[in-house]
Structure 1
């Protein structure tokens, strides 16, 4: 599951990081709390030198009216599902992120939000699929984020995680054939992801401010005590 994202890197740094130019109508605005139904900035295989904003939630092509759409797709079965099949075959994309959020329920208690980020990289890429829903009076460019089994870090928080791509695999994800991309849909293999507890202010999407990413109690601690190995 990946139900909340952020992207607050400066535009110039974002463009330099992905060697692409922001072309979004209205420009780029840093976001600390991006919720489903909002726009995600993405880089598609058809325009790898452009960063554009797509609706977060892939709308089924058979839908008569626009809807919120499907925010996540299981990478293990996306190629088999009718709703994702065409996008899987020919429409991969990168979803830049400054960190995503997940919630842990210790012993069935209240859900505790965590921020998951890459300390050595102010923006990394998650694997996604994009599509264009066509209605009678409008078209909507939309995107879903692929998920996979958790790595050791994420296993202590939740039983799924987005497909976070190593930096050297980002261009392959956009350019490769479906079988090669399938092989890239693995739990993030490197040890440079980290996580820390944040306050529940992230639960409200209206709280789209820098305070969202502040460590709980202002102590940025990792998950060593929770790690499964």
Structure 2
């Protein structure tokens, strides 16, 4: 799954990286600890030159109130689920990230958080689906992140991972038909993802500062001994 994100790339660098302009209401600000229910910055298939802010949790279109929702969707069967059907068919998006967070269970029962990022890239994109929930008095643009089987790096941390798109597949994801996009929902195939242990400060969404991504100061701060 993907239950926490960050986007702390400087705005100019972010816009240059994706060839798009931030149009979200309010000024862009770096975030180091984005939790479900917060806003994610995304690029939709309907406006590939714009970076907009969408509510992280896709609210079922039939819901009477904008509560709950789906923060993730399994890419293997999202098109078969009523809640995702129309988004899967016609509403792909790129969910922008400087690094995501995942937790690895330990023998003692506690969970160790990791920061996962792409080396030598100011930001990357995860595959997402967007939709619009319409209530009597408000309309909410919302998004969910697609997940898949883990690659070798992520397998030592969790049994799922977000669909991280190679840079050369980002435009294809937005433009392709559903069958082609399903083929893109694969474990990240390249070797430029890295992960390292961070402190449990990330567990509290109120801790939203650069300290969150600081590596733990001990010899096992990396993943070398856990990777196959």
- TM-score band by shorter chain is over 0.9
Correspondence 1:205-216 to 2 at 5 A: 205-216=205-216
Q: What displacement does 1:106 show? A: 1.8
Q: Is the counterpart of residue 161 in structure 1 residue 153 in structure 2?
A: no
* Offset from partner CA, 1:63-108 (integer Å, 9 cap, x none): 0011131100000010000000000000000001000000001225
Task: Give the distance between the partners of 1:218 and 1:19, measured in 2 at CA.
Answer: 39
Superposed CA offset, 1:31-60 (max 9, x none): 000000000000000000000000000000
Per-residue deviation at 1:22?
Answer: 0.3
Residue 116 in 1 paired to residue 116 in 2? yes
| 1:23-172 correspondence runs (5 A) | 23-107=23-107, 109-172=109-172
How many matched pairs? Answer: 228
CA shift, 1:218, in A, is 6.9
Give the deviation of 1:2 after TM superposition.
0.1
The 4+ residue runs of structure 1 with deviation greater than 2 A are: 218-222
Distance between the aligned counterparts of 2:206 and 2:111, measured in 1? 19
Contact 1:59–1:68, Cα closer than 8 Å, also in 2? yes
Can you give the 5+ residue segments of structure 2 that lack an aligned partner in the other structure?
Answer: none
Q: Deviations over 1:179-207 (max 9, x none)?
A: 11000000000000000000000000000
Q: Distance in 2 between matches of 1:123 and 1:220?
A: 25
Give me the whole-angstrom Cα distance separating, in 1, the residues matched to 2:86 and 2:209. 36
Which residue does 2:191 correspond to in 1? 191
CA distance in 2, matches of 1:137, 1:12: 35
Supply the RMSD in Å over aligned alpha carbons: 1.1
